[in-house]
Chain A
């Protein structure tokens, strides 16, 4: 089946710093890729997605580009805010055509004012 590996946290940054959270995938073919975010006390929310190679997903100032050459889908943001503090999960379908997702272990992001 497919899998994703993401950098472990916690990642601690100052407000307005540049953010990168690495995610690489192992898959047969080119599955859709997702970033989910979990804010404190809330459920998982879809942050952005890309459905094919070279696609760029973006939302709330976050971006991620589906790169098949490096099998990566790194999450980036140019200037983080305290409100971005959360746990971020990279995910992909369990296998081609599967409905369920396989998630990375999550990266806890802490933004200090």
Chain B
């Protein structure tokens, strides 16, 4: 596709529900990132993939957060047993290769936990 696509754009979940957020990166992009952006804050790094390998997951806030990219293209961020503090915009970004510095961001998924 022309850009990074994320779905759904908006998600409302009841506390305790599991959610899955999808990211379709730009075709051919090797690097993929997930960020969490709380209201009024800058994005915070969650995890990084190079192809299908998850090379850095140091930013995942708890073991309720899980990300995968099994075929090196589409990625899913899963949050189990959602809590109110998980409410945020989840951003996905892709980059052509590790040697490139420019990352292209999707519009994000706004998650609201009620």
Contacts and interface: CB of A to CB of B under 8 A. Distances in A.
A6 B24 CA distance: 31
A46 interface: yes
Given A98-B56, A100-B56, A100-B59, A43 B44 contact: no
Contacts of B50: 99
Interface stretch (B11-19, B66-74, B80-88, B103-111): B103-111
A64 B31 CA distance: 26
A46 B103 contact: yes
A82 interface: no
A34 B103 CA distance: 11
B62 interface: no
Nearest to B34: A100
B88 to A, nearest CB: 14
Interface string A8-46: 000000000000000000000000101010000111111
Contacts of A49: 101-102
Nearest to B98: A99
A103 interface: yes
B57 to A, nearest CB: 10
A51 B4 CA distance: 25
Contact of B42 (A43, A94, A98, A106): A106
A100 B108 contact: no
Interface of A: 32, 34, 36, 41-46, 49, 51, 89, 91, 94, 98-106
